[in-house]
Structure 1
């Protein structure tokens, strides 16, 4: 995980610079596995947030306050009883572990000076917040771990605290010598990257890969593929990074792809940096990538952690909330696509209908002297001036054979007419479902999902319970401001697209949409101006490309026209439009430079 021992060391250094000797003025527990301390010290007031969440554990300084339950949980009450108004006298990280210990000095009920320790373990699903007495006895923890849950270590009141045994065989990277590195690391029968992160406490696969990259070594290669010089060069790069840790030369940063955060670190990740630079150079070429990496540097690791986890939580939470809706849409899409393929195959079979009609006519024309029991008729096709051989049923006369072909023709003609309508309906349903799937990809809040669910209910994909009332819609379209000050609006789903295009936009406003694919309607309010800058059209086109199913493409073709030329067919699904005259432009769907109005 990215929250490794090196990030912890950066965080501990920052905490020592800010909250060491600060007084704990408030303790809150806003979530079952989360604490929020308000601290006052010589540097001012700070809030320290920490979480033992199995999916996203964290600890960082924040300016954000969170509402707490009216009745404080037991663990929160216990901490208030013991360390409220206490002073943090020591903050440290044992042996580069993913653990932060806070030694807290406080007065007991008798007014005597006492010391307690709060231990925050940031270890993925094993994360915990443990409160101990000065002799190491566990007073309580935010999560209880019994012997039934773990055979390795119990975390229960009254037990002695011990560091998790998962790292017992690992070395402290700050203390390793070249001799130990060569003997303990460079002789393992695994890949170079795995040898590094598997040998040292606090080093994640991301950092191990970064060390290899800095040494210009392929980390996926086996250790024994390196010669003596290669191993020595690798150790030097490893040592240089550890020197940066010892000297607190950190560079907190977040790596994003598009708008989604994918990683963070307390050191510059060279591979991402070089990729981002390459993409920046290529941005004006035909090979630009909307999934290009971007590295943003910060002056505080707490800011990195807060922003990363806030952003990551949005994506994670919305993905989890939309799982059921995505399953409904994907199931309906799969069913309709199979039906569409079957209908297309059946339609292809009806292509023979005209041939059967001609066969019937030719038998009527030339079959008057047909011998009894004949198996075929050779005749001139007067439509093409070619001779054709017509198979016959020898048990039937010419008239009956002709009627048989006319019957086949009539059946295939009726099938063709019915299938043509059915295929159009199925294709419309597929287009509608694909637009809903794109809306789910665009959704950022639970309010956005509510409106999508309402559409699925209205069109029968979800049954509304009798007790359910129609949901109150709070979701609003995205609102951007162009570089030249024009207001641009982006629909998040089909209902918003419909509203934007046919109720919000006026005739001279400009309308944009990705060509030939599901996506948002983008409306630019022109205020009846006629001479608009080219940059505005390009930026609106980028929005239409980004909020479409083709956002990952290098280039997207965008159709744009004035709203007065956009029409809605009667009875069509929400957001479905037609237009017959339009302009086109090709854009790279990168909206990182556009201003979103909250």
Structure 2
């Protein structure tokens, strides 16, 4: 919760009191993903603002006494220094913090894997702390120009007076799923949650059950409270120091427990399905009998029949379904093939059930072991036996290598990066009922709108926003309006001999849109 927008807004308000009008003497790094900004004052010669651009742990901390390393450091932005911090601000609805200085701005973007610190000079030239692709840098620059920055709570407090909870949810994208599931579902009003984040004391606590440090405005059950703090800076200092003091054993235990619980849940569902299948029994004899009965009555069979009534070996009449497209002989062979397949499938179901049951029992045993205090060696051995590292590596490699956006906080959109990437997106990643977009008559990226529920219609407004993305990532980017073709992925085909990135459409519709990244479209890391 410490990196939630509301808490970052609170941090900005505090930073103006702590470091506004301070002169920046030096900017350097001596730890991975951390930028150290020297801002000495009369009381503290070694005062620093430390910004962590670590994707997992982004934060801003003011330390009154920090000593620069004697070696293994690297200076940044020397040509712009010294300079004075005139104001600290944050985008009014996004996690972008801006430090306005005499001759430049420093932007701190909290963006998951794309978290970064970027200096922008007065000519709008960008100098990133962490390397970033030129194309992404242009997008970021455009974002900076569109943002409206604030340095107080006024805009939110004004909306709290006139908006109901529903309007607030629509207006502010910082009201994320975590806030909704952890607080709103427990009956706390949204307005109360927002004001508690902005003004209430911050509770920092240790939750040993999942080896984590909690940072939020409310007391947590079964967690050991480290402290209750009136300021964000005091709370974040306590959070960071305690986070790094978590033992490796606790972190590893939490990771293994999470993995084991997920696997047990997955295996339980499979075992229930297999058990139900086994209890039904094998239909091998039934299908073999149908094949023999059809063979005996082959003279009565004709192509085009969808069923036939015959007497079984006990003299009772039975109805056997037929495939009207098949010949009599093929229908007979079909039932003998089904009998053979049924036998194999039934035996495999029993075999798989026993195999999964052994895995399930093993994981239950591991789960019981985790209740004890295991040594690091024991935990690493369990991690190795379960193959957790390998599975995580495979998951990372399987992540789609496309630009990824979220439209209206709900719809996932993927954009190809080049011709080969377009083919991968369209031919291997996209599902049949996903929407597919491409700017008409010009080269550009393939764009896929993921449709998780085909029965739920996608609003036309969303289709237009995705079409705008497709136009933006095409040669029509600079046009006032551009036509964009869209259709379901199942109507997109690649004919033999087509070049990489080239496809044909069996049917299409066209939208005329402005090439842009819509405001309601956010980058996903």
Give the shorter-chain TM-score range: 0.3 to 0.5
Compute the TM-score of the two structures, normalised by the length of structure 2.
0.42
Compute the TM-score of the two structures, normalised by the length of structure 1.
0.38
Flag the structure with larger Rg. Answer: 1
